[in-house]
Structure formats: structure tokens, C-alpha cells
Amino acid sequence: MTNLKSSLANDKIILVPANTKRFFVAKITPVNPSEGNRFSYTTTFNFGNAIQEDFDEDYLYALPFAKGKTHLIFQGYYGKFSHQKDAALDFDLKIGDPVYAAREGTVVLTEDSNHHGCPTISCAKFNNKVLIMHSDGTFADYAHLKYKGVAVKKGDEIKKGQLIGYSGNTGFSSGPHLHFGVFINRIDGSRTFIKTKFKTSQGEGILLEEGKTYTRND
């Protein structure tokens, strides 16, 4: 800025409420009204509350596959293949297996136009997925769905246990499976991942572990 001052500091993160048409961000005023002035600015945005820290730590998630089925966690939190920095889970679902919402929420993003998958990060752009926002501001990512394998649309209100799509092998994937992760979105595109507690046939409030199998019984 030249000969101007702003009510908003540089690099400040502003939370804009959902469905807002107009929202006050800053007031720019001249330092010396009798002199010329100019300014420039850049902005970055992302969905969700990028400054959020709190969330529902005790929420009990449902397993994201069919009732009565048992599946293996073949890559767990901070796994060696693709989860080194992610508290995410990979379930050994086959291509075409139904995927169910582990928690109720609102669909904020879907993608199922991709055919391709490979075991390198270069294929991450081909992930088919459903992204659901929860009431506490966290998001769940259901990824590697099959081509045309999404059963919901953006804006849908989803119930816990509702069918949302079908498992596949798209994107950054070494074989058919369902990738599931819960996170808080950050302004720079990074994600703060959250370990989630599940209800399984073995009990409630369980943190799922790599190499173990779990059964959904309700």
C-alpha cells in the first residue's frame, strides 16, 4: 500500500459463514487525504474453517462397508506406503463393493470421472472420491472409488450408514481398496488428520490398527 492503511493485517485468515453473499473483510483508508494512493492484494481460499482446532473427539464412527462384512486394514495410520504423514485408513474393499457413510454430514465434493490409477503420487489427480463435511467442522474423505462410482451429489445431506458410492482402484493406488481419512482443512491446502474411533463387533471406541480385520455388525 502507498499512503494507505488497512484494518486487516497481512496474512490474516478470515472465516466467511456459509451461504454468505456479502461479507466485510477490511477497510482501507488514506493516511494523507491530500496525496495520491494505491494498493494491490492477493487472496487464497479453501473450504472449511481453516483456523479450527476443536472437534468432537468422542464421536463413534461406523465402519464404511456393508453390515455383516469383515475387512482388513492393510495400511493404517502413518503407514509406510502412502500414509507417512496421514492418519488415514485403507480398507481392503474390492472394485464394486458398496461404500457407506461412516458419519452423517453434507457432501461438499464428488469426483467419479476418472478411469486411471497407479502406485505413484503422479496418479493422485485421478482419485475418484466423495468428501463429506461433519457437524463439528471436520471432513471425511472416501477415495479411490470406481469410475462412475459415486452415488450422491454435492449438497446432499447424508445419514450415517447411507450408501455413498462403490469402491475402486483409481488415483494414487497400488490395488483395489477404500481410503478413509478425517481431517480439518487448512488455508494452504494441507490437512490436519484426526484418528477416529469406531464401533465394531469387537467393541466401541476402537482405534483401528494396520494388519487387523474388523466386522460391522449393525
Label residue 86 by pLDDT band (50, 70, 90): confident
Whether 128 and 179 share a structural domain: yes
> Tell me, what CATH number does 92's domain have?
2.70.70.10
Q: Of 71, 83, 177, 179, which is the active-site residue?
A: 177
Whether 25 and 101 share a structural domain: no
Residue 162 lies in a domain: yes
**Total tally of structural domains belonging to the chain:** 2
Residue 132 lies in a domain: yes
Whether 117 and 183 share a structural domain: yes
pLDDT tens per residue across span 95-104: 999 999 999 9
Which residues are CB-neighbours of 110 under 8 A, at least 6 positions away? 129, 130, 131, 150, 152, 153, 154
Q: What is the pLDDT of residue 121?
A: 83
pLDDT tens per residue across span 24-66: 999 999 999 999 999 998 888 899 999 999 999 999 999 999 9
DSSP label at residue 51 = T
Structural domain boundaries, residue 100: 60-215
Residue 126: φ, ψ to 5° = -100, 10
pLDDT tens per residue across span 154-211: 999 999 999 999 999 998 888 899 999 999 999 988 899 999 999 999 899 989 998 9
Whether 199 and 141 share a structural domain: yes
pLDDT tens per residue across span 93-147: 999 999 999 999 999 999 999 998 888 888 888 999 999 999 999 999 999 999 9
Q: Where are the beta strands (DSSP E) in 12-135?
A: 28-30, 60-62, 70-75, 88-91, 98-100, 105-111, 117-118, 129-133
Residue 49 lies in a domain: no
Whether 102 and 188 share a structural domain: yes
Residue 52 lies in a domain: no
Q: Is 144 a catalytic residue?
A: no
CA atoms within 13 A on the CB side of 100: 16
